[in-house]
Structure 1
């Protein structure tokens, strides 16, 4: 009895666990398509073939998807070639070819806009996922998620047709807001996702929202609430075999226990993250912070072998991730940079060699050689990304916000004068007088005058150097020199953003403008405060302004 295309298609998917039968039905489908010279059926037949190679041979799968695209292009089918472009993009992402993947998503998006509006927003969702989870472009991804959210809100979004897509869009929005540290919006969309998944019975995604809110509570520093949410999510996520989310559970449990100063529990969970990585060889930059924690922990214990083990592992993972993401604007946020790790490794190796010369001699040379080779290739890359990240962090801070924070801090300092009187041995009334003078000094930008010393300012304030120094240390939490330099650099950052003329000054001229005696002292204070050199900040600032004007 001859079977129709639809019957063969159904039999193919009814036998997902029987490859031999799937091949049989796929071959019959393909033979029928070529016999009838039916282009869309040829396309679908090649698509079924590509799926057979999904987990075994990505390049072979891509070849068949290209055949799908060839046969289905220009025939206005509602599914193809859009589905083929999306599947191909997925394979390319797995090969870390993100630019090619995005190109295929864009082609799918363009066609779907003409042939199938519902599919168009599915593709837009794929693009948002790639931008957020792979490229780290959270703001761009969030804009796309919002666009999709508005579309699904016009539909019957709790119906079988739309519910899953709508809920994944909500999850994407919550995840982006969390990555952008917008805690309140994260909670809002997590709650919305929990409600929608519960109404439609999508419990697999439901517990992902539970986990996501647990991670968000870590940001809020509500560590017990975080533990409660994550412990609820973990058994279900393990049941659904979501390896990435399982790793996330252990990582954020570690962060929560660390926040509660329960070091042993934090270490146990970070070790579980490492255990999952050791089995899967998959990890993202988000979960790398556990390694510096383990390094510090074993260093404090004096356990040199484990300290060296996790330094080496941190470096090895770092190297792999840099190679995979070398074309992206993503960087690893580890507090341990390459030179620091190299130095620490060298010291550990020397120490271990002294303790166990025979057993560690060969391993020490090997590890040192591997570190040198691996570090050389990507040191400059990390250095550049670290500087770029610091620049972006500075740019996010607005002048109004900085000013408000200073005002709030000043008010707080004045209000807490009584409680700190006994700590520094100065009378309450005198503390309040000096704090008021400091506030006025900051507001009127007295710090821009050159050659300010604690002696000269104490004369202006009509007090002695000991009292002024103590009050600055206690109420500004800085040494006097750092206090003056930080005020000057904050003012420099603010004015360089606003004044294009200043950005044309030499470093020496800027130093004089902001109260420093030399270009060297200005550059040193600028770097200490912001983490980047003033010349780099100005160049990036000019580039960002030019890009906005284009």
Structure 2
């Protein structure tokens, strides 16, 4: 588990603050329920659901403390669920209460002893941007948090923020700088007389582990061993139930660096048994990545592939697809090494597509992928000229498969271009652009309108026209019940009128309006085009980017990202 997930140890230790003034029983029960469920093993989606209810209760009761508590839980749990954009949104809302001086003295008293403070919010914003690959932005927020910690003399953050900065330095391969920050953080942790012993030991354990791993990345194996043994002598490996496991994993990594692969393999078998005892449901998440690398180095590619797929399957239960990009890349490499280029290409494509949360980096990722493939192909050709005719035949098969893959990609590109041009012509030729997408359903919910008089029928149509003009269909709460209520009818009459007049069901009607809006808005507004797919989908009323992508592709024949890319090319 990453240090950034553990920065708020306080989260596990904190109990709900004393409640001042009047607060509804419902809100108090929700607050207690969330506090009892919060742990690093908890399903983040369950806590997100409860926190949304708490936020509504806080807004209804105008209770700033409840709102802040809910926003903080939503920010943290969205982070754990790899919903970093949503997490940033929640933390920014939380930060506004501090930057706009919206806190009364009563609320400030309630917040004492909790983790809700600018120093913490900046740190979590840094973690989010780090997860999204924006290391520069992450450093900016970590430095803001560090400055507050230094100014206000906050020992915990003065010790932990350098560790987070160290992680950023590792990610950009500034290993010497990372080691410097890790050592500073460790020194402050171990020498502090203010931080409680449990927190000191917990964070020191993580910092030593990170420091040892960084030495490995520098290929300084002796320093890595010394650092790990230092942590063991300090008893850091016994700090929590999983600390000994994590230290064992670092030991295994050292063995791999020393090319003691069989010893590493035995170590991972032990780790596997202990992990599954510690956490039968998700124990594999501790070790599957490193274990698979060890198996691959031993040439056991099929076992490595099987292990990776099991780990990915467990991660997908709580994480979004885009957060698995590195796993897909690793799996693609193992398939390639095993000779299954078809599967390799499939997972390389998954790797590329999973970058949609980082849309601005997508072109660079694709270019790097193709450059690496081309370089690998050239290298294979050179080697094949020096070996037997059997390997030459094998190389030829590889080339044919790659050419076939490139041909399929080219054909797909031409197909997308054709569909895009047809869509543009359709936009330009139709006067009533709201009819650009007009799906007809074969099966309708309500066929008969005999029980609706003409006056009522026309009133409902007029109401629907107002709904369209006001763009109410872009709101996430837009459903048949709310629309019927808004135009003063019932859901049965509403469905019958839509079925009879538009020849489509209610859901199809709303989806057509949203997709029409998206097509035209993306064409006309370059700024809207720069948003992530997730942000666009939320702006037009979808609760998930998957639903938006599905309906957009179904109506236009194009993925939203492809449509945006082609619009950018012609402008």
Q: 1:351 to 1:25 in 2, by over 3 A?
A: closer
1:151 aligned partner:
188
The answer to whether the aligner puts 1:103 opposite 2:140 as a matched pair is yes
1:65 aligned partner:
91
2:219 aligned partner:
181
Q: 1:41 to 1:269 in 2, by over 3 A?
A: closer
Find 1:254's aligned residue among 275, 295, 316: 295
The answer to whether the aligner puts 1:82 opposite 2:119 as a matched pair is yes
Could you give the per-residue CA deviations for residues 113-145 of structure 1, whole angstroms, max 9, x where no partner exists? 22213223222222222332x433322221110
Check whether the contact 2:265–2:295 (CA below 8 A) recurs between aligned residues. no
2:163 aligned partner:
125
Superposed CA RMSD: 4.9
Secondary structure class of the residue paired with 1:2? coil
1:212 aligned partner:
250
Segment of structure 1 superposing worse, 200-209 or 49-58: 49-58
- Structure 2 CA distance, aligned partners of 1:326 and 1:58? 16
Find 1:91's aligned residue among 116, 128, 131: 128
Shift of 1:330: 11
- Structure 2 CA distance, aligned partners of 1:318 and 1:138? 27
Q: How many residues align?
A: 349
- Structure 2 CA distance, aligned partners of 1:125 and 1:232? 29
Segment of structure 1 superposing worse, 109-118 or 19-28: 19-28
Matches within 5 A, 1:448-459: none
Could you give the per-residue CA deviations for residues 501-534 of structure 1, whole angstroms, max 9, x where no partner exists? xxxxxxxxxxxxxxxxxxxxxxxxxxxxxxxxxx
Shift of 1:80: 0.9
Secondary structure class of the residue paired with 1:193? helix
- Structure 2 CA distance, aligned partners of 1:324 and 1:237? 35
Q: 1:324 to 1:146 in 2, by over 3 A?
A: farther
Shift of 1:155: 2.9
Check whether the contact 2:163–2:182 (CA below 8 A) recurs between aligned residues. yes
1:433 aligned partner:
none
1:47 aligned partner:
72
1:295 aligned partner:
336
Task: Please tell me whether Structure 1 or Structure 2 has the larger radius of gyration of its CA atoms.
Answer: 1
Could you give the per-residue CA deviations for residues 483-517 of structure 1, whole angstroms, max 9, x where no partner exists? xxxxxxxxxxxxxxxxxxxxxxxxxxxxxxxxxxx
The answer to whether the aligner puts 1:2 opposite 2:22 as a matched pair is yes
Check whether the contact 1:197–1:205 (CA below 8 A) recurs between aligned residues. no
Find 2:259's aligned residue among 221, 227, 231: 221
2:241 aligned partner:
203
Check whether the contact 1:197–1:206 (CA below 8 A) recurs between aligned residues. no
- Structure 2 CA distance, aligned partners of 1:8 and 1:353? 60
Shift of 1:82: 1.5
- Structure 2 CA distance, aligned partners of 1:226 and 1:18? 38
- Structure 2 CA distance, aligned partners of 1:341 and 1:142? 33
Check whether the contact 1:178–1:186 (CA below 8 A) recurs between aligned residues. yes
1:462 aligned partner:
none
- Structure 1 CA distance, aligned partners of 2:348 and 2:83? 30
Shift of 1:48: 4.2
Matches within 5 A, 1:299-314: 306-310=340-344, 313-314=347-348
Could you give the per-residue CA deviations for residues 54-85 of structure 1, whole angstroms, max 9, x where no partner exists? 54864444233113222224899885112212
Check whether the contact 1:96–1:325 (CA below 8 A) recurs between aligned residues. no
Q: Which has the higher contact order (CA 8 A, sep 6+)?
A: 2
